[in-house]
Amino acid sequence: MAEPELRPATPADAAAIVAITRELIADGGVYPHTAEMTDDELVGYWFAPKGQLVVALLDGRIAGVYLMKPQWMGRGSHVATASYAVASAARGHGVGEALGRHSIAEARRLGYRAMQFNLVVETNTAAVKLWQKLGFRILATLPGVFRHDVHGHVGAHVMFLEL
Ligand SMILES: CC(C)(COP(=O)(O)OP(=O)(O)OC[C@H]1O[C@@H](n2cnc3c(N)ncnc32)[C@H](O)[C@@H]1OP(=O)(O)O)[C@@H](O)C(=O)NCCC(=O)NCCS
């Protein structure tokens, strides 16, 4: 399979991003979003104010997306947070890693001093392994904060990368 091509998202990408997000919702074990959320709410989540939204294309089709934005306002705005999603059919081909590496490079370029993920579900092995591969550390595991469709209340890691 070809290398993913990354570019800034445009409003025309919204439907594809929503379709990927619906897959995550159906999974029930990776993101807090629920099926009750409307497409407009999901678009609002990804196209966030002050956010940087990037899509990855494989063979011309949108295969993944990340959103990076300041973790906090003002005195905490030098820390970035981010969300990532890869279409289920495109997983295991380097798209998530390409998105992760791109976001880290962008965070450095934009002058962020660190990246912090707030809710990496502890049973989400693919994500935990990916972020550890890219240098993130688990700082804490928040007990029972995520209501998993299959496993019930599970913990979630706070993961951190100093830039
Ligand atoms: C996590 C996710 C982004 C990974 O994307 P991907 O394109 O499948 O990942 P890649 O093919 O780039 O894999 C890169 C690395 O991730 C890890 N990884 C990916 N899938 C994995 C799996 N099923 N099991 C264990 N590790 C896995 C490995 O470290 C892998 O490196 P390796 O190939 O050298 O072992 C993708 O599974 C996804 O979108 N999941 C649902 C949403 C989500 O979890 N987002 C992140 C929330 S914090």
Backbone φ and ψ of 141, nearest 5°: -120, 115
Q: Residue 75 C-alpha to ligand 1 middle, in angstroms?
A: 32
Which helix (H) or strand (E) element contains residue 135? Answer: none
For residue 36, count other CB atoms closer than 10 A to its CB: 7
Q: End-to-end CA distance of the chain: give it in Å, rounded.
A: 31
For residue 107, count other CB atoms closer than 10 A to its CB: 21
Share of the chain above pLDDT 70, in %: 99
Q: Residue 117 C-alpha to ligand 1 middle, in angstroms?
A: 15
- Residues 43-90 pLDDT 10s: 999 999 999 999 999 999 999 999 999 999 999 999 999 999 999 999
- In whole angstroms, what is the distance from residue 36 CA to residue 15 CA? 17
DSSP 60: T
What number is the average pLDDT over the span 93-102?
Answer: 97
What number is the average pLDDT over the span 128-154?
Answer: 98
Structural domain boundaries of the chain?
5-162
Tell me the Ramachandran region of residue 94: left when phi exceeds 0, alpha when psi lies from -120 to 50, beta otherwise. left
Residue 1 has pLDDT above 70, yes or no: no
Q: Residue 43 C-alpha to ligand 1 middle, in angstroms?
A: 23
- In whole angstroms, what is the distance from residue 151 CA to residue 26 CA? 14
Q: Residue 91 C-alpha to ligand 1 middle, in angstroms?
A: 7
Pocket test for ligand 1, best of 65, 91, 124 (most atoms within 8 A of CB): 91
85 within ligand 1 shell (Cβ under 6 A): yes
- Residues 120-131 pLDDT 10s: 999 999 999 999
Residue 6 has pLDDT above 90, yes or no: yes
Mean confidence (pLDDT) of the chain: 97
Tokens 């800034």 appear where?
8
Q: What CATH topology corresponds to 5-162? A: Aminopeptidase (3.40.630)
Residue 62 pairs in a beta bridge with: 57
